[in-house]
Amino acid sequence: MKKSILILSLILFSSSYLLAQTEAVTIYNPNANAKEDIASAVKQARAENKHVLLQIGGNWCPWCVKLDGFMATDPQVDSLLKANYIRVMVNYSKENKNEEVMKMLGNPQRFGFPVLVILNQDGIRLHTQDSWYLEKEKYYDKEKLMHFLEMWSVAAVKG
């Protein structure tokens, strides 16, 4: 009986810990106006000679959280990102699927999450990237991510 109670206690503790970790993630804002955020980013990208990188996903998505953490904590990736892109986190969740924005972007959610979309300085979609191709085993591949960011920079696209 004691063994059963101990096992049940461990399961409940683990479940509540995991739930608390999930609720604490606030990378994406379901209440944000994605259309306005994108318009603002396009304006800033034009002024700074950069492209816009839309990172579409949700706080519910473990791979979205991993990608955000990887981009923020790797100094080379972070530097390349900041030098070439204005990044916008676009929420996709049961609270707000941003359906109008998704339709405008060619329904990138069909690739799963996170999905990355590159816009030029006029707000025109240049590329949609299924993040699966940027993964390696159970995390993201730095070399693949750096290559992706380099190949879709303003300098690379303009040749």
Give the sign of the dihedral formed by CA 108, CA 96, CA 70, CA 50.
Answer: positive
Phi, psi of 43 (to 5 degrees): -60, -45
Give the sign of the dihedral formed by CA 52, CA 124, CA 154, CA 39.
Answer: negative
**Dihedral (Cα; 98, 100, 106, 109), 10-degree rounding:** 20
**Dihedral (Cα; 69, 71, 72, 76), 10-degree rounding:** 140
Residue 116 has pLDDT above 90, yes or no: yes
pLDDT of 18 = 47
Is-contact 89 55, C-beta < 8 A? yes
Q: What is the pLDDT of residues 28-55, one digit of tens each?
A: 999 999 999 999 999 999 999 999 999 9
> Mean per-residue pLDDT for 134-144?
95
pLDDT of 19 = 47
For all residues of the chain together, what is the average pLDDT? 90
Residue 11 has pLDDT above 50, yes or no: yes
Confidence category of residue 17, pLDDT binned at 50, 70, 90: very low
Q: What is the pLDDT of residues 54-105, one digit of tens each?
A: 999 999 999 999 999 999 999 999 999 999 999 999 999 999 999 999 999 9
Tell me which DSSP letter residue 93 carries: S
- When comparing pLDDT for 18 and 61, which is higher? 61
User: Which domains are seen in the chain, by residue range?
Assistant: 26-158 (3.40.30.10)
